Amino acid sequence: MTATILYEGNLRCNAQHLQSGTSIETDAPTDNQGKGERFSPTDLVCTALATCMVTTMAIKTASMGIELKGTTINVKKHMLNDPRMIGAIDVEVNFPNSLILEEKDQVILKRVGDNCPVVKSLHPDVKLNVQYNFAK
């Protein structure tokens, strides 16, 4: 088992990660009857995507002698209403200005990020708009 979730009422859940004991609270978003005081479940899907992309890239670059520390990712979700679902996710990966990469390494990073496990787990109807910003 990965986690246990307790529904606390008022559209809030508390999820506990069993291996580490850490927890995450969620709220329904303000556009769907919630308070928006925590990540919503769909926010976590988008966050999982971004963190999976950079984590898998960092796993790959460790064997290449490249450190991705300082990389930032901006992620934005676009919801649909009928059916209520994530329609698109914008992901902007910003590598540090101090990290100068050869074109072949940039291609490898894009390939790894575009094929991370979360990308492969998303429904094909979810449109992904990914932009990689490398230092020049």
Domain range annotation of the chain: 1-39, 40-133
How far is residue 75's CA from residue 98's CA, in Å, rounded to a whole number? Answer: 22
**What is the number of H-type helices and E-type strands within the chain?**
3, 6
What percent of the chain has a predicted confidence (pLDDT) above 90? Answer: 96
Confidence check: pLDDT of 60 > 90: yes
pTM of the model: 0.94
Tokens (6 digits) for 16: 């506990």
Asked if the 40-133 domain carries CATH number 3.30.300.20, the reply is yes
pLDDT confidence band for 69 (50 / 70 / 90):
very high
User: What is the predicted pLDDT for the residue at 15?
Assistant: 97
Mean pLDDT of the chain: 96
How far is residue 24's CA from residue 15's CA, in Å, rounded to a whole number? Answer: 5
Tens of pLDDT, residues 89-111: 999 999 999 999 999 999 999 99
> What mean pLDDT comes out for the span 126-130?
98
Tens of pLDDT, residues 2-35: 999 999 999 999 999 999 999 999 999 998 998 9
Confidence check: pLDDT of 136 > 90: no
Are the CB atoms for 31 and 43 separated by under 8 Å? Answer: no
pLDDT confidence band for 62 (50 / 70 / 90):
very high
User: What is the predicted pLDDT for the residue at 121?
Assistant: 97
